Amino acid sequence: MTALTRRHALRLAMATPALLITTRPALARESEIYQEGGIAIDGSDAVAYFAGNGPVTGDAYHKVDWMGAIWQFANAENAAAFAATPEAFAPQFGGYCAFAASRGYLAPTMPEAWTLYEGKLYLNANLRARELWLQDVPGNIAKGEANWPGILG
């Protein structure tokens, strides 16, 4: 009986390092949509950017649930337009900072740091990131698309 116990202990001791090497803790994947508290893009109305209004705060009364986040809008018309074709209005890179995506990482965004380029909305973490983004928009888009969605984890 003692030899059997030692044999099992030896096998366990030899198997433990291999088990530790082959198993890794599961890391949570980031949401495809930048959100805080379940609200996409800081509650800004994504459709309002396309009307030339810049950032307009959405209302919880006018909301659309899309891609696991709640999108808020200033009015029912904007909510309906988004619900009909969300891909046309949703910011690129899930609303994460477009400049950060071009550099291979994720960063939150602020509503005031935005750009419309070729009919698409891009948000940035801050006004400085937007300045850097604007230095080479097509190049930064290409880099961001090469990194996306792999940078979600």
pLDDT tens track, the chain, 153 positions: 444 445 444 444 444 343 333 333 334 689 999 999 999 999 999 999 999 888 999 999 999 999 999 999 999 999 999 999 999 999 999 999 999 999 999 999 999 999 999 999 999 999 999 999 999 999 999 999 999 999 999
How far CA 121 is from CA of 15, 36, 111, in Å, comes to 52, 19, 11
pLDDT at 9: 44
Into how many domains does the chain fold? Answer: 2
Say if residue 78 is in the same domain as residue 120.
Answer: no
Quote the domain boundaries for residue 66: 34-86
Say if residue 95 is in the same domain as residue 141.
Answer: yes
> Does any domain span residue 147?
yes
Say if residue 145 is in the same domain as residue 99.
Answer: yes
> Does any domain span residue 9?
no
Spatial separation of the C-alpha atoms in residues 51 and 124, rounded to whole Å:
19
Closest CA to 90 of 49, 124, 136, 140: 49
Say if residue 106 is in the same domain as residue 143.
Answer: yes
Say if residue 62 is in the same domain as residue 109.
Answer: no
